[in-house]
Amino acid sequence: MRQADVKRDTLETRISVRIDLDGTGKATLATGVPFLDHMLDQIARHGAIDLEVKAEGDVHIDDHHTVEDVGITLGQAFARAIGDKKGIRRYGHAYVPLDEALSRVVVDFSGRPGLHYFVEYTRARIGSFDVDLAREFFQGFVNHAGVTLHIDNLRGDNAHHQCETIFKAFGRALRMAAERDDRALGAIPSTKGAL
């Protein structure tokens, strides 16, 4: 069962994440940051991942701690659920458009945290959501999931579209990389024999 249940409490946030990598895209989300819920919903739906995320954060200050810490906790849950990575594809990629916007996301379950993030938003905010926080989310995820992640927004005029294509492509790429490869016969997909 590729599932995990992680709770993370700090003085700034209390977060719980439940994940099932072999789900159907069901999501129950209550982070206190509505735009983040909308983006997590994209990961679940397009990743075919069942996801429950609850967060109580210090959003009276701003959304920063909550968004970053949800990324961290999701990364921890992902690392636990994926386990020893035997028999998975390891690499995943996706291009996703939304009208004028187009993004590419490439992931490697390498065991080495690395984020390469190239997104120039056309606006500083999406509603009340600070677009800088998308990067904080992915940095938190990468650090704790132990993945290499390349994110490129190739074009886009609308910041909501730019951000949404990133999260959708991220979900699709995760799905591909986490999928079982029938021809791998349960082997770890590395000539080193470990990831």
- Interacting span for Mn ion (CB under 5 A) from 55-63, 137-145, 146-154, 156-164: 156-164
**CB closer to Mn ion out of 21 and 29:** 29
Coil/strand/helix, residue 124: coil
Tokens describing residue 161: 């579209």
For tokens 């990961």, name the residue.
43
Cβ proximity to Mn ion: between 34 and 111 the closer is 34
Complex with Mn ion: residue 136 or 164, whichever CB lies closer:
164
**39-68 positions binding Mn ion, by CB under 5 A:** none
Query: Residue with the closest Cβ to Mn ion?
Result: 164
Interatomic CA distance for residues 166 and 94, integer angstroms: 10
The residue among 20 and 164 lying less far from Mn ion, judged by its C-beta, is: 164
Using the contact rule CB under 5 A, the part of the chain among 75-83, 124-132, 148-156, 159-167 near Mn ion is: 159-167
Residues 160-179 that bind Mn ion (CB under 5 A): 164
> Contact region for Mn ion (CB under 5 A) — 10-18, 107-115, 119-127, 158-166?
158-166
Minimum CB–partner distance for residue 161 and Mn ion (Å): 8
**Token pair for 181:** 């490869």
**Rounded distance, CA 140 to CA 21, Å?**
19
Q: How many CB atoms lie within 10 A of CB 187?
A: 13
When the beta carbons of 52 and 164 are compared against Mn ion, the nearer one is 164
**Residue closer to Mn ion (CB basis): 78 or 129:** 129
Residues of this chain, 78-117, that bind Mn ion according to CB under 5 A: none
From the CB of 60, what's the least distance to Mn ion, in Å? Answer: 25
- The size of the interface with Mn ion (CB under 5 A), counted in residues, is 1
d(CA 106, CA 8): 27
Q: At 170, which helix (H) or strand (E)? A: helix 159-178
- Rounded to the nearest whole angstrom, what is the least distance from the CB of residue 164 to Mn ion in the complex? 5
DSSP tally for the chain: helices H, then strands E: 4, 10
DSSP 100: T
Of 121, 161, 106, 133, residue with least CA distance to 31:
133
If we measure between CA atoms, which residue out of 69, 61, 82 comes closest to residue 17? 69
Q: Which residues bind Mn ion (CB under 5 A)?
A: 164
